[in-house]
Amino acid sequence: MPSAELSVIVPTFKERGNVAELVRRLDAALKGLAWEVIFVDDNSPDGTAAAVKDLAARDGRVRCLRRVGRRGLAGACIEGMLSSAAPYVAVIDADLQHDEKVLAQMLATLQSGGADLVAATRYVEGGSAASFSQGRGAISQLATRLARRLLRTNLSDPMSGFFMVRRACVEEMAPLLSPVGFKILLDIAITGGDRLRIAEQPYSFGERAQGESKFNAQIGLEFLGLLLAKLSGDLIDPRFIFFALVGTTGLIVHLATLKLALALLPAQPDLFRVAQAMATFVAMTSNFLLNNELTYRDRRLKGAAQLRGFLLFCLIASVGVLANIDLASWLYVERSGWWLAGAAGAIMSALWNYAMSTLFVWRAR
Ligand code: GDD
Ligand code: MN
């Protein structure tokens, strides 16, 4: 059997009811071509991986990469593309919303040498996104506009999760891509820069066949994180942006608790210490929980590990506070203005907390 010319990468999470139909449609759409399909499943509880492996047992063109202990659309796409040895790789959703019938044309465009990447788009003549609900349509439009304005991409549909690319291009930029969020095409286009020649292929975005969408507010936030990270020239890690946002809510929680405690406790001077200690504890707890849910969602701690992590987090934060006060006082004595000293102290402890939390509390498995 000739080795595949095209690997079709399909990220899946809870798509059991869609995979067989997708393979049938690929078979029809790619007749006469040497292709394979690689499903990258994040250990879906509905048994998607087992369903794919059933298909694979009967069809050598079907493969399954089952990832355990990990979640994320972009990361799944990256790993799928890197598992391929074909000259061309495509990414397509499992839920049949992307029109597989344009794949052959996309491959022809790449093979003719005119482009390194073909992005399937809903937003040019010949394409459509009519099946979007009003709400999702508006979000998609807004994200498209933000990306085009802030990131200066020429893609007409930068939010698309449907594209085909020369594998060599992906291999080269893989270490620079972010596994977080949904925006894998945008990330590739920006990372590739001017050297990556992009063509577009219109298509009509369809209705989801079975199951439901995994898009949620968290993914929207992650997109904002990606925008900020790219705006800072990758200087700022998106995870740190979340960590800093959580820290800011912590300050609000702290002040609110302090005010409440002062109102409830009898007005004695030494009780301010008690109120301040309570506020610190509440803020630290809410910071920990929010970071666990948001910043380090992909490494979320549960059960006993969560308690252990919380104690460690408090310990790290206490050291951070001491270092913060030391640095700020030293700067202040050295006669920098109060605000510069204060801000330097706060930024330093935020960086410290972030580095230590990433290394020790939510360490990568
Ligand atoms: N492996 C893996 N891990 N796959 C995932 C994950 C994950 O954490 N989350 C979603 N997927 C898979 C789904 O199973 C599906 O095959 C595909 O990624 C797209 O997910 P949907 O949940 O169907 O996303 P959508 O339809 O709301 O969003 C579509 O439109 C967006 C633009 O508006 C997708 O095409 C996105 O890629 C696109 O950005
Ligand atoms: Mn979908």
Q: Are residues 198 and 252 in the same domain?
A: no
Are 123 and 43 in contact by the 8 Å Cβ rule? The answer is no
Give tens-digit pLDDT for 28-51: 999 999 999 999 999 999 999 999
pTM of the predicted model as reported, rounded to 2 decimal places:
0.76
Q: Which of 212, 228, 263 is the last residue of a domain?
A: 212
The structural domain count of the chain equals 2
Q: Are residues 62 and 175 in the same domain?
A: yes
Q: Are residues 133 and 46 in the same domain?
A: yes
Cα 331 to ligand 1 centre (Å) = 49
Give tens-digit pLDDT for 110-133: 999 999 999 999 988 888 888 788
The set of protein residues with a Cβ atom below 6 angstroms from ligand 1 is 11-13, 15, 40-42, 71-73, 76, 93-95, 97, 140, 159, 161, 182, 213-215
> Is 230 contained in some domain?
no
Residues 224 and 7: their CA atoms lie apart, in Å, by 30
- CB neighbourhood size of 157 (10 A): 26
Q: Are residues 182 and 291 in the same domain?
A: no
Q: Are residues 287 and 329 in the same domain?
A: yes
Domain of residue 38, residue span: 6-212
Q: Are residues 276 and 190 in the same domain?
A: no
pLDDT of residue 324: 82
| Closest residue CA from atom 6 of ligand 1 | 73
Instruction: Look up the CATH number of the domain holding residue 152.
Output: 3.90.550.10
Whole-angstrom CA distances from 87 to 28, 83, 162, 167, 292 are 21, 12, 17, 5, 40
Closest ligand to C-alpha of residue 215 is: 1
> Is 219 contained in some domain?
no
Cα 212 to ligand 1 centre (Å) = 10
pLDDT of residue 365: 67
> Is 333 contained in some domain?
yes
Closest ligand to C-alpha of residue 132 is: 1
Percent of the chain scored above 90 by pLDDT?
Answer: 61
> Is 1 contained in some domain?
no
Q: Are residues 156 and 69 in the same domain?
A: yes
Measured from the Cα of 48, ligand 1's closest atom is 14
DSSP class per residue in 200-222:
EEE-B-----SS-----HHHHHH
Give alpha helix (H) positions in the chain: 19-29, 48-58, 73-82, 103-111, 134-151, 167-173, 184-192, 217-231, 238-264, 271-290, 303-333, 338-356
- CB neighbourhood size of 293 (10 A): 12
Place of tokens 């490494």: 299
At 105, is the pLDDT very low, low, confident or very high (cuts 50, 70, 90)? very high
Q: Which of 212, 247, 270 is the last residue of a domain?
A: 212
> CA torsion, points 250, 251, 253, 257, in degrees to nearest 10?
130
Q: Are residues 145 and 256 in the same domain?
A: no
| Closest residue CA from atom 37 of ligand 1 | 161
Q: Are residues 195 and 318 in the same domain?
A: no
Lowest mean pLDDT among 90-104, 121-135, 153-167: 121-135
Q: Are residues 77 and 192 in the same domain?
A: yes
- Whether residue 134 has pLDDT greater than 80: yes
At 331, is the pLDDT very low, low, confident or very high (cuts 50, 70, 90)? confident
Which whole number is the average pLDDT over 140-155? 85
